[in-house]
Structure 1
Amino acid sequence: MPIVAAFIVPHPPLIVPAVGRGGEREVQKTIDSYLQTAEEIAALKPETIIISSPHAVMYRDYFHISPGEKAFGTFVDFRAPEVSFAETYDTELVAEIERIAREKNFPAGTMGEKDPRLDHGTMVPLYFTEQRYTAFKLVRIGLSGLPLTKHYELGKIIAKAVENTNRRVVWIASGDLSHKLQEYGPYGYAEEGPIYDEKLIDTCVRGALGELKDFDEDLCERAAECGHRSFTMMSGAFDGVRVRSKVYSHEDVTGVGYGVCSFYPKNNGDEFVSLARMTIETYIKERKRIMPPTGLSEKLTSTRAGAFVSIHKKGDLRGCIGTIAPCEDSLAEEIISNAISASTRDPRFPPITTAELDSLEINVDVLTEPIQVKSLDELDPKRYGVIVQSGYKRGLLLPDLEGIDSVEQQLDIAMMKGGITYEDELTVFKFEVVRHK
């Protein structure tokens, strides 16, 4: 089961009333947004909540995952010992994350815990969440001094572990934005502060989570943010997944940026469509051809077939390229190749741009082996596609197309596409398709 939702939240102890003692009202918008996320988490009923925190145990070259079965914490360091937490860890999910990390020789695990107590970067999100929902286990993960790309990679590992354990999981990425937004703030002002916050919020508004790993790390450092690695780790868990995003609030009245955002995976269709979409988005953004991801079914990895990838935008065709017979080693590779061609090489349309990606509808049609027909009575434009061939010329039309209601229409269009006339000697084939959308 994929991660059902993720949230970016800040963690100033000030917003806990027992700590703020009235001062929390200064950031009431943030508090209201936090309570909204708690309501949404309660509605989702996750079995496990993952919290990535900048204030958990942190190493320069290693990601620490909190070990053990239970953890405790209080706000005693902020003069509010009466606010306390007793949490149960999801040991099975932690063990699976560790197993995959070892398998990949990735530097993450439960070694080296210095202080088992919950940190405030974890407790502030727990404080608001547990006002609405408590029936969950916890996984707590610290950051590292490694590059953003490594944090993104860990997110991918965690997503795989969630899938393997079939957990219903919500991820809370704890972290403040820039600490240098106002001269009167505790860290003063730097021009990079507002630049970072604006860029981060814009990225969240667009749901472009993959861009988080590409932020300039010098900009992040000069802006004195503390949450970007947490956000990037979370974004890796949505690698290749389109998300529906919402920014609830962004405040900088204390000189520190507090942002509250949510991310829900969109329905990307079945795995055939998801593979085509992932291919298109990666190629358009990065000009890279993806490899078939792990976890695909045998239908994609162990069979060969012709396939068409069709792209529509607001109901209008935006690109369609396919193969009548298999040309690649697997159906997955066939879809990847044709998705790239449909998005960039259809001569009827200009290549798709990054700005269009969120508005595309994608279909994948997998073809059966064509069968030669002896009579037009064997054709049905709703059930069968046709291939009309004359010598080296060939025209194809997929079945069940809007406005194509007769065999004659179907043949006329297929012949026109192939540059074939009725004066030519014709051979007609029919085929069926399994349509994925």
Structure 2
Amino acid sequence: MGEILSAYLMPHPPIIIPEVGKGEQRKAQSTIEALETCARHIKDNKPHTVVLITPHGPMFRDAIAVMATPHLTGNFARFGAPGVKMSFENDVELAKAIMDHAERLNIPCIGIDNSVASDYRISTSMDWGALVPLYFVTKQYSDFKLVHITYAPLSYEALYAFGKAIQEAVRACAKDVCVIASGDLSHRLSQDGPYGFHPMGPKLDKEIMAIIESGDVERFFNMAPVMVEEGGECGLRSIIIAMGTLDGYDLHPRVLSYEGPFGVGYGVAIFERGKPDATRLFVERLFERKHQRMQRIRQNEDPYVRLARRSLESYIRTGKIIKSDDNLPREMLENRAGVFVSIKKDGQLRGCIGTIEPTRKNIAEEIIYNAISAGVHDPRFIPVDENELEELVYSVDVLKKPEPVKSIDELDAKRYGVIVRSGHKSGLLLPDLEGVDTPQQQIEIALRKAGIRPNESYTIERFEVERHK
């Protein structure tokens, strides 16, 4: 019977590859030495296959991508080192088994063969999230097949369950496997980092490394969404999948290093598999807690949010548009205003549509029609499916009258939303959005939404909202 032998957290900055860094890699010497330790550990385990989870392959919003081509190849040409190449035989049997077991758990996957890659206009070449860890592994051990997986921004619970599907597929195929969770941590550790500094960056990395060191998997599911969003990580979901591959076993984590020399956090760790432990069977427990959490959200909806949810649910299930209820608060039936309805799924935006000025006879109707539009007509997303309805979280913003401003100094990203206009083009951004901290960011995003170039002449308006969530 095959087993997950061990799992590893391995970061992926191309600069630590000597042919790319050209000396700069020495600034991350602790990370390099820790990765070499992981490689020796994998060599000692001698796995038949390495399963690698990356954030930088072909990512789909609603399905985990599993490479299905017979061979997996890549190089560092985009980083100035085309001569550094790698090629692996894809363990197609295990890849298919992983997708089959995931399907049984209702976790969507897509196999990326040449035909699918052509249809979606994506590359089958390996990304740097895979190449960097494998560069170090192959220096020590290369007698393995590879399974290349790109996670999707699904719920943490679904990602953990996908890890469990990997475990079950490994057993079914009777192959010994090591799992690599490829991922950097916060990209916001210093002002000269990729995304500047944010105080949540160091806090996020401290929390992630503390959870890893403790082996307390359930703490991942209690992390503050704002900290994760504003901390700017890319490795958390890879880690959660890797933890799922060891579900039901005693866990022996070992942190090898942590540093952030280029404004990005690099954590390296080994997760040793211990003995079977029934108290660490988390999948069902996690989904039950998620269900209870959604029930609490539903119980605490106010009339604005409840109406938005009921409107979309009715339309998706019956095709009918509900009518406003006479029992709604008077201000919803007697007042008119622009309204935005936002829908999230697993903390990720699933749709957002609104009106700057009122277009219906009252706020209630504005909510009804905008909720339906947010769910089925937002061009950024495929329409909401009926099986998603129980997982959606709604918020409703009732806009107050916009007022013109002469200077960006009159804005406040937390208090005011912004509207930019140039001729027939206009763009709106709501206030107090995660990851939007300054008026300058608001203006830049609103201009992009409107298709207005920064050097064009445009006007700015500000507005406040009454937010219901």
TM value normalised by structure 2:
0.57
Q: Work out the CA distance in 2 between the residues paired with 1:282 and 1:145.
A: 20
Q: Could you tell me which residue of structure 1 aligns to residue 232 of structure 2?
A: 224
Q: Could you tell me which residue of structure 2 aligns to residue 45 of structure 1?
A: 46
* Residue deviations 1:283-302 (CA, integer Å, cap 9, x gap): 8xx999xxxxxxxxxxxxxx
Q: Could you tell me which residue of structure 1 aligns to residue 334 of structure 2?
A: none
1:2 aligns with 2:10: no
For the Cα contact (< 8 Å) 1:196–1:223, is it kept in 2? Answer: yes
Q: Aligned pair in 2 of structure 1 residues 25, 98: CA closer, same or farther (>3 Å)?
A: same
Q: Aligned pair in 2 of structure 1 residues 104, 209: CA closer, same or farther (>3 Å)?
A: closer
Which ranges of structure 2 fall in alignment gaps of 5 or more residues? 291-469
Q: Work out the CA distance in 2 between the residues paired with 1:183 and 1:227.
A: 21
For the Cα contact (< 8 Å) 2:247–2:282, is it kept in 1? Answer: no
Amino acid at match of 2:69: G
Q: Aligned pair in 2 of structure 1 residues 279, 46: CA closer, same or farther (>3 Å)?
A: closer
Q: How does 1:97-112 map to 2 (within 5 A)?
A: 97-111=98-112, 112=116
For the Cα contact (< 8 Å) 2:157–2:283, is it kept in 1? Answer: no
1:182 aligns with 2:190: yes
1:202 aligns with 2:202: no
Q: How does 1:162-173 map to 2 (within 5 A)?
A: 162-173=170-181
Measured after TM superposition, the shift of residue 31 of structure 1 is 0.4
Measured after TM superposition, the shift of residue 280 of structure 1 is 11
For the Cα contact (< 8 Å) 1:210–1:239, is it kept in 2? Answer: no
Q: Could you tell me which residue of structure 1 aligns to residue 163 of structure 2?
A: 155
Measured after TM superposition, the shift of residue 2 of structure 1 is 2.4
For the Cα contact (< 8 Å) 2:105–2:161, is it kept in 1? Answer: no
Q: Could you tell me which residue of structure 2 aligns to residue 81 of structure 1?
A: 82
Structure 2 residue corresponding to 1:243, chosen from 240, 251, 273: 251
> How many corresponding residue pairs?
281
Amino acid at match of 1:9: M
Q: Could you tell me which residue of structure 2 aligns to residue 31 of structure 1?
A: 32
Q: Could you tell me which residue of structure 2 aligns to residue 66 of structure 1?
A: 67
Q: Work out the CA distance in 2 between the residues paired with 1:278 and 1:170.
A: 20
For the Cα contact (< 8 Å) 1:72–1:84, is it kept in 2? Answer: yes
For the Cα contact (< 8 Å) 1:70–1:89, is it kept in 2? Answer: yes
SS of equivalent to 1:225:
coil
Q: Could you tell me which residue of structure 1 aligns to residue 262 of structure 2?
A: 254
For the Cα contact (< 8 Å) 2:167–2:245, is it kept in 1? Answer: yes
Q: Aligned pair in 2 of structure 1 residues 55, 22: CA closer, same or farther (>3 Å)?
A: same
For the Cα contact (< 8 Å) 1:52–1:142, is it kept in 2? Answer: yes
Q: How does 1:268-283 map to 2 (within 5 A)?
A: 268=276, 274-275=277-278, 277-278=279-280
1:117 aligns with 2:125: yes
1:212 aligns with 2:220: yes
Measured after TM superposition, the shift of residue 109 of structure 1 is 2.9
Deviating 4+ runs (over 6 angstroms): 279-283
Tell which structure's C-alpha radius of gyration is larger.
1
Q: Work out the CA distance in 2 between the residues paired with 1:8 and 1:22.
A: 24
Q: Aligned pair in 2 of structure 1 residues 90, 210: CA closer, same or farther (>3 Å)?
A: farther
Q: Work out the CA distance in 2 between the residues paired with 1:39 and 1:104.
A: 34
Amino acid at match of 1:167: K
Q: Work out the CA distance in 2 between the residues paired with 1:235 and 1:69.
A: 27
Measured after TM superposition, the shift of residue 282 of structure 1 is 9.3
Q: Aligned pair in 2 of structure 1 residues 145, 49: CA closer, same or farther (>3 Å)?
A: same
For the Cα contact (< 8 Å) 1:210–1:236, is it kept in 2? Answer: no
Measured after TM superposition, the shift of residue 232 of structure 1 is 0.9
Amino acid at match of 1:78: F
Measured after TM superposition, the shift of residue 213 of structure 1 is 3.7
Measured after TM superposition, the shift of residue 281 of structure 1 is 12
SS of equivalent to 1:248:
strand
Measured after TM superposition, the shift of residue 254 of structure 1 is 1.3
Measured after TM superposition, the shift of residue 16 of structure 1 is 0.2
* Residue deviations 1:338-384 (CA, integer Å, cap 9, x gap): xxxxxxxxxxxxxxxxxxxxxxxxxxxxxxxxxxxxxxxxxxxxxxx
Q: Work out the CA distance in 1 between the residues paired with 2:160 and 2:72.
A: 26
Q: Could you tell me which residue of structure 2 aligns to residue 139 of structure 1?
A: 147
Q: Aligned pair in 2 of structure 1 residues 129, 279: CA closer, same or farther (>3 Å)?
A: closer
SS of equivalent to 1:172:
strand
Q: Aligned pair in 2 of structure 1 residues 279, 49: CA closer, same or farther (>3 Å)?
A: closer
Amino acid at match of 2:93: E
1:192 aligns with 2:200: yes
Q: Work out the CA distance in 2 between the residues paired with 1:282 and 1:107.
A: 18
Q: Aligned pair in 2 of structure 1 residues 278, 77: CA closer, same or farther (>3 Å)?
A: closer
Q: CA RMSD in A?
A: 2.2
Measured after TM superposition, the shift of residue 253 of structure 1 is 1.9
Q: Could you tell me which residue of structure 2 aligns to residue 358 of structure 1?
A: none
Q: Aligned pair in 2 of structure 1 residues 214, 70: CA closer, same or farther (>3 Å)?
A: farther
Amino acid at match of 1:140: H
Measured after TM superposition, the shift of residue 165 of structure 1 is 0.8
Q: Work out the CA distance in 2 between the residues paired with 1:87 and 1:65.
A: 15
Q: Work out the CA distance in 2 between the residues paired with 1:43 and 1:51.
A: 18
For the Cα contact (< 8 Å) 1:173–1:231, is it kept in 2? Answer: yes
Q: Work out the CA distance in 1 between the residues paired with 2:84 and 2:269.
A: 25
Measured after TM superposition, the shift of residue 100 of structure 1 is 1.7
Q: Work out the CA distance in 2 between the residues paired with 1:76 and 1:226.
A: 22
Measured after TM superposition, the shift of residue 212 of structure 1 is 2.5
Q: Could you tell me which residue of structure 2 aligns to residue 325 of structure 1?
A: none
* Residue deviations 1:124-149 (CA, integer Å, cap 9, x gap): 01100000000000000001122222
* Residue deviations 1:291-320 (CA, integer Å, cap 9, x gap): xxxxxxxxxxxxxxxxxxxxxxxxxxxxxx
Q: Work out the CA distance in 2 between the residues paired with 1:110 and 1:10.
A: 25
Q: Work out the CA distance in 2 between the residues paired with 1:278 and 1:58.
A: 30
Q: Work out the CA distance in 2 between the residues paired with 1:92 and 1:264.
A: 25
For the Cα contact (< 8 Å) 1:213–1:232, is it kept in 2? Answer: no
Q: Work out the CA distance in 2 between the residues paired with 1:73 and 1:7.
A: 21
Identity rate, percent: 35
Measured after TM superposition, the shift of residue 220 of structure 1 is 1.4
SS of equivalent to 2:143:
coil
